[in-house]
Amino acid sequence: EPEVTQTPSHQVTQMGQEVILRCVPISNHLYFYWYRQILGQKVEFLVSFYNNEISEKSEIFDDQFSVERPDGSNFTLKIRSTKLEDSAMYFCASSGRGQGADEQFFGPGTRLTVL
């Protein structure tokens, strides 16, 4: 069964450093998403991406964040200068049709720890 994969599973970084989180969505999906979940809190939408551009983003997704689909398979989230409060689990998801009314498939997540 196809699945979304994410690397690394755990990333530890120093405050102020740049990190890139990587995702490989399901191969025939067209819509891609990033979410984050701070420990003990709810899953929060960050950004959606379609046709090589951002479709929608939340207030959390400020200038420190960027997304890219550098090739036909990877989808990345970059945090330019990490802060302590960026420590969270980051989930990538993909869907076929998008527009919300569609099942999203989530990856296993990357746990980001900022020291």
Partner 1 sequence: SQKIEQNSEALNIQEGKTATLTCNYTNYSPAYLQWYRQDPGRGPVFLLLIRENEKEKRKERLKVTFDTTLKQSLFHITASQPADSATYLCAPGTGGFKTIFGAGTRLFVKA
- 106 is a site residue for partner 1 (CB under 8 A): yes
Q: Which one among 29, 36, 91, 94 touches partner 1, defined by CB under 8 A?
A: 91
Among 12, 43, 78, 80, binds partner 1 (CB under 8 A): 43
Place of tokens 């999203």: 104
Radius of gyration of the chain (CA): 13
Decide: is 108 part of the binding site for partner 1 (CB under 8 A).
yes
Q: Alpha-carbon distance 99 to 95, whole Å?
A: 9
The two tokens of residue 35 are 């979410």
| Helices and strands, counts by H and E, the chain | 0, 11
**What's the closest the beta carbon of residue 37 comes to partner 1, in angstroms?**
9
Q: Euclidean distance between the first and final Cα of the chain, in Å?
A: 37
45 binds partner 1 (CB under 8 A): yes
Q: Which of positions 51-80 make contact with partner 1 (CB under 8 A)? A: 55-56, 58
Residues near partner 1 (CB under 8 A) are 4, 31, 33, 41-45, 48, 50, 55-56, 58, 89, 91, 93, 98-101, 103-109
